[in-house]
Amino acid sequence: MISFLTFFVILLGVITFARIIRIFELSSELHGTDVNAVNESDNKTHSLLLLLFGTFFVITVFYMTWSMKDKMLPISASEHGVGIDTLFNANMALLYVVFLITHVVLIYYAFKYYHKKEHTPVFFVHNTKLELVWTIIPTIILSSVIVFGISYWSKITAPAPAEAIVIELYAKQFDWTARYAGDDNKLGKSSFRLVDGSNALGLDYTDADAGDDIIVRNEFHLPVGRDVVFKFHSRDVLHSAYMPHFRAQMNCVPGMTTQFHFKPTITTEGMRAETKNEKFDYILLCNKICGASHFNMQMTIVVEDETAFKQWLGSKKTVAQELKAAEVVPVAVTDSLAAHTDSVKVHEVTAEVVKH
């Protein structure tokens, strides 16, 4: 009923506006004037209206930026994110300066030089000085922005320290799985050919590095002040691992490994205090529209001190422990044995997996 009334009111408004326009047309005909003719008074009125609305528009842009600042992301929670924010703020400041200058000049000139019959426009084909000005100045500014950006990007994408923690983030429609590299800090091999109902990540259980890997879902933890290397994989379509509070994003591409590293600098509790929000949580999102439940593809991230992180990670079962609890030799191991009957290492690893 409310929708019908809203539509009815809008319809009446349109009809009323059309009738008012028609009244003006009839009034002009009675006075012998052309309603479509534009005179100097009309031009002056429109120039004044442009001045008023243009000024209102410029003021509104800056006001909205100021009033919505609390809706922006809080301070960066990663070491490299500080540089990202500096780069972003510098670019935004430049854009606002250019926006203000160009719009003030545009609005002022449109107001001052509205059309008059006695005005004669000046036409010139070429002006070398003017072309030099609008070529050299933008070139210097844009070159500075590019150099500034590349310098930060080089620092961000530099190789990760050797002692960085290695974590795999595995994407599929529509959830995330995290795999820690374990005590050896080496991820075990995996292959899409090994994916089945009991091996969602396609781990190669015959790889000695896979036994101490730790698989977690729903949430994963990070130690504050430690470098972390993320290796990204996707099972099905293109996903994008987006961790906004750490200013980190990387595509997860089927068939290949992508990676990114950063150092968390603020714990979850610290950010809750910073934002004055007791319910705040860091979050991993998918930033590529990957299907019907894309919006629900997320995972909680907990940043804590080193001691709490080790306690949490130590409470999780390794791959070998999970296999032992299942009390069954995985199909992948059986298939691997059949294909590599001459491999002593395969037999040793399989025996170790079953034993543990």
Contact 279, 290 (CB under 8 A): no
β pairing state of 248-252 and 239-243: antiparallel
CATH code of the domain in which 279 resides: 2.60.40.420
What is the rounded end-to-end Cα distance, in angstroms, of the chain? 68
Q: Which of 122, 156, 190 is the last residue of a domain?
A: 156
Cα separations in angstroms, 93 against 2, 8, 88, 96, 186:
45, 46, 9, 5, 44
Give me the helix-helix angle, 128-156 and 79-112, nearest 10°: 160
* Residues 186, 329 share a domain: yes
Cα separations in angstroms, 17 against 11, 22, 30, 109, 308:
10, 9, 20, 32, 68
- For the chain, the C-alpha Rg in angstroms (whole number) is 32
* Residues 111, 77 share a domain: yes
Report pLDDT for 351.
41
Q: Range of 85's domain?
A: 39-156
Q: Which of 156, 175, 206 is the last residue of a domain?
A: 156
Report pLDDT for 326.
73
Report pLDDT for 304.
96
* Residue 8: inside a domain: no
* Residues 290, 195 share a domain: yes
Report pLDDT for 263.
95
* Residues 129, 251 share a domain: no
DSSP symbols for 298-330 = EEEEEEE-HHHHHHHHHTSPBHHHHHHHHTS--
Residue 246, C-beta contacts closer than 8 angstroms, at least 6 positions apart: 76, 77, 78, 81, 262, 264, 282
Split into its structural domains, the chain has a count of 2
* Residues 226, 350 share a domain: yes
* Residue 104: inside a domain: yes
* Residues 178, 299 share a domain: yes
* Residues 342, 235 share a domain: yes
* Residue 221: inside a domain: yes
SS3 261: strand
* Residues 254, 145 share a domain: no
CATH code of the domain in which 125 resides: 1.10.287
Residue given tokens 């990007």 in the structure block: 153
* Residues 256, 143 share a domain: no
Q: Which of 123, 156, 189 is the last residue of a domain?
A: 156
Give the count of alpha carbons within 13 A of 332, CB side only: 23
Region for 33 from its dihedrals, namely left if φ exceeds 0, alpha if ψ lies in -120 to 50, beta otherwise: beta
* Residues 205, 152 share a domain: no
Contact 240, 250 (CB under 8 A): yes
* Residues 120, 62 share a domain: yes
* Mean pLDDT for back-to-back runs of 10 residues, the chain (356 residues): 83 89 76 67 86 94 90 92 91 93 92 80 82 91 90 85 93 94 90 86 88 92 95 94 94 92 95 93 94 92 95 92 71 43 40 43
Report pLDDT for 338.
41
pTM value? 0.73
* Residues 211, 288 share a domain: yes
